[in-house]
Amino acid sequence: MSVPNVVLNNGIEIPQLGFGVWRVPSGQTREVVAKALQVGYRHIDTAKLYANEEEVGAAVRDSGLERDQVFVTSKVWNDDQGYDRTLRAFDASMDRLGFEVLDLYLIHWPADDLGTSVETWKAMEKLYLDGRIRAIGVSNFGPDHLGRLLADAEVTPAVNQVELNPYRQRRAVREADAEHGIATEAWAPLAKGGELLSDPVVTRLAATHEATPAQVVLRWHLQVGTIAIPKSVTPSRIEENFAAFGFELDEEELAALEALDRD
């Protein structure tokens, strides 16, 4: 299956459906990332905080794919924020990944209470302008956080990764991102499973399209334009999540999912 790409504001393309490894134990990460790449994923999302960058890098190298065929994201955590510390944190992440160039690097969380987000961004701008990162962005930033960052930024973030799913649609964030040409990326796109995937609206649409509830939710993400990074350690679900392209939701069905928003 061919995953559509989203063109970021600097012209770089990112696969709209990716594979997340948050809370995947380091001992399992290499195996599950290898499975995801074998299924067809070409976008892997990790972070220093996840403590599995080394395994992600090894799985990418072992896959037989060229490095430029796999889009990899990592993130700088709060205790590494600040100009010099961010530069050191990036070098450490690259050592663990075993890469020369990273596709996307994000500020993992707005550290406004530490007063370091702007200095962190300056370091990321340097890494980007030096050609060590293809795109830079942020994660978990609300409109106010974005406004404060953009006031001092030379480079506009390419991506804002936030918790987003039909139960938490983050309309204000998506509007602020769109205003600045920032792509919105969804972590926990399936709302961590459970209640959303058993919601009567979701299960009805799944039956209509002979799809799974997870595929219906991921199809919603694809059609509203967000980048989605579902996570699983179960091989059958890794395959299932990747198969969200064989049907399309109509306007009425999209509206029914939009009505699930709990803000």
Catalytic residue among 41, 50, 105, 128: 50
Q: What angle do CA 139, 113, 143 make, to 5 degrees?
A: 45
Instruction: Please indicate whether residue 83 is annotated as part of the active site.
Output: no
Give the number of other Cβ atoms within 10 Å of residue 30's Cβ: 19
Active site residues: 50
